[in-house]
Structure 1
Amino acid sequence: MMKFTRRTIIAAAAAGTFAMMAPGMSTAFAAEKTDITIAVGGKSLYYYLPLTIAEQLGYFKDEGLNVKIVDFQGGSRALQAVVGGSADVVSGAFEHTISMQAKKQAMTAFVLQGRAPQLAMVVSTKKMPNYKQLSDLKGKKIGVTAPGSSSQMVANYILAKGGLGPKDVAFIGVGSSSGAVAALRSGQIDALINLDPVITLLTRNGDAKVVADTRKVAESESFFGGTLPAGCLYAPTSFVEKNPKAVQALTNAIVRADEWLSKATPEDVAKVVPESYLMGNRDVYLAGFEGNREALSPDGKFPEGCANISLNALKTVNDKIDPAKIDLSKVYTNKFVEEALKKYPAK
């Protein structure tokens, strides 16, 4: 006969409490891996805002995950962290899943954060006061975050609308923060393609004028012929296959964040994000969020055909990619998002 001691009674009570947990919570704790490291390049950008919202509002914890987010200087370094094994998942640009497959390193995107690149092209009001059309940029110096980056990829498409090719301009890497602002204000460049808050800072002060804007979904789709997916969570395909419950938990959290942001006011967002995100200028941050809101995914789903659009855009900065050797059906999946939407249906 079993002898009941204080220790066995406490253990039994604990087991009973665990068994009575909400179904969603017990499923989360059943995840194969609960300690997850996510690498991101530029965490404070609106581009990755759903990641921060999921973290700050406790959505990852609600799913039974202990998530550590490591911020790197750029998306390529965040990707390197996952390839090197120091991180599990990347919060980064969708097109990396395609470029990595071309290198025979399979990556799978599983939840979308942005449905447009959120990049805007501006011209210096000082250097180009008489600007009228995109063709006026011929022979000009255009600042991009880095050579071969997503910003240059998007710039190529915008220039094409003006009948210009990549060789008709000079691309100069200027980063995505104070360096980019300084480069335009000092006259080092004639035009710039960048993200917020850089764009909002320059336009509010009258230093620059917007000439193309992929923060607006309709304008973005006019350039690319459809949705060009932007920020997302992706990981090595092997990680996704070995840890489906953990990936589902991550997806649930981001889908909740996407849905929260689709209804939040700028003030709501400002109250949630770390104070450092405001960079000492609350008004600029609020205006920047309003300008980028519609470019964020409302539900985490990858639209049909988006991978092909991304491949076509990627080819403009990487001519070594052979489309015939890319299987676009393997660079993303919506199955985790579909399950997440059953648990957290859009209201």
Structure 2
Amino acid sequence: MRFLKIALSIGLCFVLVAALVACGGTKKETVRIAEVTRSIFYAPQYVAIEKGFFEEEGLDVKLTTTWGGDKTMTTLLADGADVALVGSETSIYVYAQGSNDPIINFAQLTQTDGTFLVSREELADFSWEDLKGSTFLGQRKGGMPQMAGEFVLKKHGIDPQNDLNLIQNVDFANIPSAFASGTGDFVQLFEPQASIFEAEGIGHIVASFGEESGLIPYTTFMAKESYIKENPETVKKFTRALFKAQAWVDSHSAKEVAEVILPYFEDTEVGLVETVVDRYKSQGSFATDPVLDTAEWENLQNIMDEAGELPKYVEHETLVNTTIAEDVMGEE
């Protein structure tokens, strides 16, 4: 009997060891991401999850959509998330308020504006001059979409405050429904909403703000400086997984990307998702590596300054950590 018990114990040990080996030998570490919105614009993030790139790094990613820059940053500051996916301008706003634990941008996801100009009427020969005298349903004041939008309007000789009726008091999540219910002649929208409206005949895409505004760190992964210092390997693994996803998206067709990320857009036809992915790929919206360089950072602050929203100039190295991304890229 005693021999039988010993044999059973040894057998159980072998089972446990085998289970540990099968699971990678270690427990996965949870990383909570708060994304500013749900958009095909963030395709590489969803690819990293669905293709198992985070899992390969031993990370269990928990993704929450927090709908808006203010809410996303509040969630991060209140420790409701470990990492935020949001516009880099938010880190500047926090820093300008005198935070003793600044928010550090460590991996870039998108490198152009991700919004499109949608007209209520079909315009065969659209000109930016068509906006003059119109009602324009814009994004939140001080947010990157609105600032990039105003930058483009000014580039085309349009004064947003005087040449059109600019509406900015609609909550981010309610902008599409406001336009659908009849507010505005033009609206600035993310995908897939812009293409959905076009398919439903509610509006017509006439221009891309991304093509017009140049390279900017439009959406980046960021975390508190303290989190990065306390979890350097976790952040590095996170960035490595992202880089794998960026390379995968860059080397695969829009159709293949659409099929992978479709679970995040269950109410959207795969053909429409493919169209949107192709649109973003063709205009270079998806960053092909996680490095947020100095030129993009400067362009961001120039756009903020032009919009009158730059609280103070911040040096690139103050709020951007490129070492992590560069180390990961150097492993290739």
1:88-136, CA deviations, whole angstroms, 9 ceiling, x for partnerless residues? 110111222222211223111111111111112233216xx59753244
Gaps of 5+ in 2: 1-5
Aligned to 1:305, the other structure's residue is in SS state helix
Determine the C-alpha separation between the residues in 2 that align with 1:187 and 1:17: 58
- Amino acid in the other structure paired with 1:76: D
* Superposed CA RMSD: 3.1
Letter in 1 for 2:121: T
Give the structure 2 partner of residue 224 of structure 1: none
**1:250 Cα offset (Å):** 0.6
* Deviation of the 1:247 alpha carbon: 0.7
CA distance in 1, matches of 2:89, 2:310: 14
Counterpart residue number, 2:194: 199
Partner of 2:74: 80
Unaligned runs of 5+ in 1: 222-226
Query: Per-residue deviation at 1:287?
Result: 0.8
Contact 2:294 2:316 in 1 (8 A): no
Q: What does 1:13-162 correspond to in 2, within 5 Å?
A: 34-42=29-37, 44-105=38-99, 106-125=102-121, 132-162=126-156
Q: Which amino acid aligns with 2:276?
A: G
Matches within 5 A, 1:225-240: 227-240=215-228
Which whole-Å CA distance do the structure 2 matches of 1:257 and 1:280 have between them? 22
Alignment: residue pair count = 319
Bigger Cα displacement from structure 2, 179-188 vs 283-292: 179-188
**Partners of 1:92 and 1:232 within 8 A in 2:** yes
Shift of 1:200: 1.6
Report the TM-score, using the length of structure 1 for normalisation: 0.80
- Judged with a 3 Å threshold, the aligned counterparts in structure 2 of structure 1 residues 261 and 174 are, in CA distance, closer, same or farther, namely farther
1:279 partner letter: D
Q: In 2, distance between residues paired with 1:290 and 1:85?
A: 36
Match of 2:256 among 268, 275, 280: 268
Q: Is the 8 A contact 2:259 2:270 kept in 1?
A: no
Q: State the 1:340 CA deviation.
A: 1.6
Quote the Cα distance in structure 1 between the aligned partners of 2:171 and 2:255: 28
Residue in 2 that maps onto 1:301: 291
Shift of 1:320: 6.0
Identity of matched residues, %: 19
Q: What is the Cα deviation at residue 17 of structure 1? A: 11
Q: CA deviation at 1:255?
A: 0.6
Bigger mean CA deviation after superposition, 198-207 or 143-152 = 198-207
DSSP 3-state at the match of 2:31:
strand
Task: Give, in whole Å, the separation in 1 of the partners of 2:185 and 2:78.
Answer: 38
CA contact (8 A) 1:47 1:113 kept: no
How far is the alpha carbon of 1:254 from its aligned partner? 0.6
Query: 2:3 aligns to what?
Result: none
Give the CA deviation at 1:173.
4.6
Q: Is the 8 A contact 2:304 2:310 kept in 1?
A: no
8 Å contact kept, 2:301–2:310: no
After superposition, the C-alpha distances for 1:53-103 in whole angstroms (9 at most, x for unaligned) are: 111111111111122112212232121111001211101112222222112
Measure how far apart 1:205 and its partner are: 4.9
SS of the residue corresponding to residue 213 of structure 2 reads: helix
Alpha carbons 1:46, 1:196 under 8 Å: kept: yes
How many angstroms apart in 2 are the aligned matches of 1:220 and 1:75? 20
The answer to whether 1:254 aligns with 2:250 is no
Maintained 8 Å contact 1:134/1:161: no
Specify whether residues 287 and 319 from structure 1 end up closer, same or farther in structure 2 by C-alpha distance, changes over 3 A only.
closer
Seen in structure 2, the aligned counterparts of structure 1 residues 132 and 16 have a Cα distance that, compared at 3 Å, is closer
Return closer, same or farther for 1:278/1:174 CA change in 2, 3 Å cut-off: farther
CA contact under 8 A between 2:53 and 2:244: conserved in structure 1? Answer: yes
Q: Give the CA deviation at 1:196.
A: 0.7
Is residue 241 of structure 1 aligned with residue 229 of structure 2?
A: yes
Structure 1 contact 47–231 (Cα < 8 Å) conserved: no
Q: 1:339 to 1:116 in 2, by over 3 A?
A: same
Distance verdict in 2 for CA 1:51–1:300, change over 3 Å: same
1:283 to 264, 267, 271: 271
